[in-house]
């Protein structure tokens, strides 16, 4: 009786994990090719870029805000990075891309604090507008052309390595992600800056009266998000070897869904970057499994939506 309860509670607390296990088992039984190493590494490669973006988004949501402009940042950073390889070389381009992401995020944070947007809905639509601005700038810069890194005259082997290289059999992109994740986990749980984010998410006024600089924390959160988007952008770009002003379309909604499915509430204050990773994993796995099971693309969209709605619903029931 006791044990049963414990088991139930464990299941309840780890629904996402359970979902992943069920999905993996069912797919592996019906389509054994699922377990091929190549497929598994593919899934890992595929999820890294979204995982980066979702990682940044986790901080934004813990801080009690939201950001719809990640798609704009991902695309603009990809354009900037790809077009800088020729003039300044790949290391320079990479650094500039990351810097650009951080700056775009900082710009978001600054605009929001200057306007004094504090309600999530305000933030939602302001970043929605910013997304439009970023994408438009990217389009103006490239004239909607797709930039291909393979066309650069300078070496670009570092980018291809990020996208498709492996180290000891593990994709390099996932290694980079693991390092960043570890840093971010440490940052969230152990540092003052990380704590200030969740305190702000919990109660802005109280945090302010205890000496936390809300505006600065907000800028920091958005800068982190911009930086993470830049990482996501670069990983994605090196994987597909192209950069466009529309790269990463749909990432904003997907990232938010991953974060929420992972168990971070939109109310702010509570959340965990590791759980977000589970969310990303579930979402990525889902489309892979559907493809392998031969479901039509349309059915996949239905299933995607259904799984998300169910995941959020179940997660919510647990909290009630």
Partner 1 sequence: MSMTSVLNKVWKSLSRQKAVLAILALVTLMLFFDTNFFTPYNWLDMLRSTSIIEIIGFGVTVVVICGACDLSVGGTMSIGGILAIMLVNANYPFWLAFLAGILSGALVGLVNGFLVVHQKTEPFIITLGMGMLLKGVAQQLTNASPLSSRNMEFMKISNQQFFGIPSLVVYMAVLLVAFFCLLRFTGYGRNCYAIGGNYEVAKNSGINVIRTKWIAFVISGSTAALAGVLLASRMNTGSSIYGDTTGMLVNCGIVIGGTSFAGGIGGIYESFIGLFVIQLISNSMGMLGIGGYSQQLIRGIIIVLIIGMDCYARKRKREAV
Partner 2 sequence: MSQPGRNILVVRDVCKSFPGVKALDRVSIQVPSGVVYGIVGENGAGKSTLMKILSGVYEKDSGTIEFDGKVIERTTPIQALRRGLSIIYQEFNLVNTMSVGENIYLGRFREMGGMRGVHKKARALLDSIGSRISTYAKVGDLSASEMQIVEITKALSFDSRLIIMDEPSSSLTSEELKRLGKIINQLRDKGISTIYISHKLDEIFEYCDIVTVMRDGCVIDSRPVSEMSRSEMIEKMVGRTIDNEYPPRMHCVGGPLLEIKNLTTRKLHDVSFTLNRGEILGFVGLVGAGRTEIVRAIYGADKVRSHTLHLQGKQTRVRNPKEAMVAGMGLLPEDRKREGLILPFSVEANITMASLDRLTRHGIIDRSKEKEIGERQIKNLNIKTPSAQTRTHSLSGGNQQKCIVGRWLELDPQILILDEPTRGIDVGAKYEIYTLMNRIVEAGGSIIMISSELPEVLNMSNRVLTICEGRVTGEFNPETASAAEIMSRAIG
Partner 3 sequence: AEKKEVKIAFITQSLENASQAFAWSQFQEYAPQYGFTPYLFEEGYDPQKGVAAIGTCIAEGFAAISINPTDPSAMIPSFMEAQKAGVIVGMYSSEVPEEFKQYRDFMCGTNDIICGEVAAQTLMEAFPEGVKVVEVGGQSGHDAQIKRHNGFFDTIDPAKVTVLDSKNCPRWSSDDAMNIMNDFITLYGDEIQAVYCHWDIGATGCIEALKAANLLEGVYVIGVDGCMIGYDQVIEGTQQLCIGQNFTRMTTDTLDTIQKILNKEPYDEVTFTALDVVTPANVSTFPYPKW
What is the SS3 assignment for 170? strand
φ/ψ region of 265 (left if φ > 0, alpha if ψ in -120 to 50, else beta) reads beta
Tokens coding 6: 């414990």
Choose, by CB under 8 A, the member of 24, 83, 160, 195 that binds partner 2. 195
- 139: phi then psi, degrees, rounded to nearest 5: -65, -40
What whole-number distance in Å separates Cα of residue 262 and Cα of residue 282? 9
Least distance (Å) from partner 3 to the CB of residue 244?
8
Q: Which of 22, 95, 302, 318 binds partner 1 (CB under 8 A)?
A: 302
Total residues contacting partner 1 by CB under 8 A comes to 49
Nearest C-alpha neighbor of 46 from the set 239, 262, 296: 239
From partner 2, partner 1, partner 3, none, which one binds at residue 244 (CB under 5 to 8 Å depending on kind)?
Answer: partner 3
**CB nearer to partner 1: pick between 177 and 315:** 315
- Residue 146 has what DSSP assignment? P
Quick one: angle between helices 297-319 and 15-30, nearest 10? 150
Nearest distance in Å: CB 144, partner 3:
4
CB closer to partner 2 out of 171 and 201: 201
Q: Does 120 bind partner 1 (CB under 8 A)?
A: yes
The footprint of partner 2 on this chain (CB under 8 A) covers a number of residues equal to: 20
Q: Smallest gap, in angstroms, from Cβ of residue 192 to partner 2? A: 4
> Out of 10, 125, 167, 186, which residue is the one contacting partner 1 (CB under 8 A)?
125
- Asked if 212 interacts with partner 2 (CB under 8 A), we say yes
Q: Which does 151 bind (CB under 5 to 8 A by kind): partner 3, partner 1, partner 2, none?
A: partner 3
Contact 64, 207 (CB under 8 A): no
For the CA atoms of 149, 151, 152, 158, what is the dihedral angle to 10 degrees? Answer: 40
DSSP state of 242: E
Among 150, 210, 299, 318, binds partner 1 (CB under 8 A): 299
What is the C-alpha end-to-end distance of the chain, expressed in Å? 23
The residues of the shown chain that bind partner 1, judged by CB under 8 A, are 111, 114-122, 124-126, 128-133, 135-137, 139-140, 144, 253, 256-257, 260, 265-266, 296-306, 308-309, 312-313, 316-317, 320
């Amino acid at each position: 009786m006791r044990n049963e309860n414990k088991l139930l509670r464990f299941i309840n607390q780890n629904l996402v994990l359970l979902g992943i296990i069920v999905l993996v088992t069912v797919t592996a039984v019906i389509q054994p090719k699922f377990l091929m190493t190549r497929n598994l590494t593919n899934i890992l490669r595929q999820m890294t870029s979204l995982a980066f973006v979702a990682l940044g988004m986790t901080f934004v949501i813990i801080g009690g805000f939201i950001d719809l402009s990640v798609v704009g940042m991902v695309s603009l950073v990809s354009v900037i990075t790809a077009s800088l390889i020729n003039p300044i070389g790949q290391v320079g381009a990479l650094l500039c891309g990351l810097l650009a992401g951080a700056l775009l995020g900082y710009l978001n944070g600054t605009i929001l604090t200057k306007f004094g947007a504090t309600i999530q809905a305000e933030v939602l639509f302001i970043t929605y507008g910013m997304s439009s601005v970023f994408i438009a700038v990217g389009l103006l810069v490239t004239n909607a052309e797709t930039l291909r890194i393979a066309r650069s005259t300078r070496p670009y082997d570092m980018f291809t390595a990020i996208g498709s290289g492996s180290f000891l059999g593990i994709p390099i992109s996932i290694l980079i992600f693991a390092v960043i994740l570890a840093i971010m986990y440490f940052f969230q749980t152990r540092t003052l800056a990380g704590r200030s984010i969740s305190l702000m998410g919990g109660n802005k006024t109280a945090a302010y009266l205890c000496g936390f600089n809300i505006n600065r924390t907000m800028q920091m959160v958005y800068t982190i998000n911009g930086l993470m988007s830049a990482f996501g952008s670069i990983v994605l770009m090196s994987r597909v070897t192209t950069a466009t002003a529309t790269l990463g379309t749909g990432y904003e909604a997907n990232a938010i869904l991953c974060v929420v499915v992972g168990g971070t509430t939109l109310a702010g204050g509570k959340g965990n970057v590791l759980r977000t990773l589970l969310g990303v994993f579930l979402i990525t796995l889902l489309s892979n499994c559907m493809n392998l099971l031969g479901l039509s693309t349309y059915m996949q969209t239905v299933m995607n939506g259904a799984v998300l709605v169910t995941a959020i619903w179940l997660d919510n029931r647990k909290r009630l």
